[in-house]
A = this chain, B = another copy of it.
Amino acid sequence: MDREWNDSQPIYRQLRDRVVAMILDGVLKEGDPLPSVRNVAAEYRVNPLTVLKGYQELVDEGVVETKRGRGMFINAGARSVLLKGERQKFLAEEWPRVQATMQRLGLKPEELLNGASSQSKSKAKQEER
């Protein structure tokens, strides 16, 4: 039922990002357990080791903590830490590349801000430099 995987990024990182997104969106709150390794592995038809690898990144970042025999739980303060870190990463690594691409393609950000398919038929003009 999901859009499955993106070939431009390893699965374990996409899993990590998915959890981060859930925390930022408030779907998972501090103190909550993560969906279990085995459950996720089964649901997405992926190897448990792959899920674990993604989860371990969050442990290494200090966002999540392991409780032996019980599960993995979201640490206090996780959300604000993530918000800060992800913002910094986005601004430093992703946005400059995206902005350069948009300029190169002659896409104006203002036209992309409407949520829907803004493929506006307004002006399908040729573009020259």
Residues of A that sit less than 8 Å from B by CB: 8-9, 21, 24-26, 80, 83, 86-87, 90-91, 94-95, 98-99, 101-102, 104-107, 109, 112-113, 115, 119, 126-127, 129
Which residues does chain B contribute within 8 Å of A127, judged by CB atoms? Answer: 83
Structural contact, B105 and A90, CB atoms closer than 8 A: yes
CA distance A9 to B13 in the complex (A): 13
In contact, B105 and A24 (Cβ under 8 angstroms): yes
Contact A80–B8 (Cβ < 8 Å): no
Inside 8 A of A119's CB, which chain B residues have their CB? 91
Chain B residues positioned under 8 Å from A104 (CB to CB) = 21, 24-25, 86
Q: Given A8-B8, A25-B104, A26-B129, does the pair A112, B95 have CB atoms closer than 8 Å?
A: yes
